[in-house]
Amino acid sequence: YPHMTVAENMGFALKIAGVNKDERATRVLEAAKLLDLEPYLGRKPKALSGGQRQRVAMGRAIVRQPQVFLMDEPLSN
């Protein structure tokens, strides 16, 4: 979502699911730490490198706490 910040992007699915704001913030911060995205949480996607954008996409999945991840060439360019 190009009009949202990294933090908003990562928490958007949780917002739609009705997760409260504090829980969303906690999950987003935990995923950002895991993916080394903390310095970029306030930035828009267009300000990120391709690799950082991929990590944001992974963060969107991580915050939802799925039981399994299915990835199709997640590290390819």
The reply to whether 75 falls in a domain is: no
pTM: 0.87
Tens-place pLDDT, residues 13-47: 999 999 999 999 999 999 999 999 999 999 999 99
The reply to whether 70 falls in a domain is: no
The reply to whether 11 falls in a domain is: yes
| Domain range for 24 | 6-62
The reply to whether 52 falls in a domain is: yes
Nearest-angstrom CA–CA distance, 11 and 8: 5
Instruction: Work out how many domains the chain is built from and give that number.
Output: 1
Question: Quick one: residue 36, left, alpha or beta (phi over 0 = left, psi -120 to 50 = alpha)?
Answer: left
Evaluate if residue 77 carries a pLDDT over 90: no
Q: Sign of torsion, CA 56 61 63 67?
A: negative
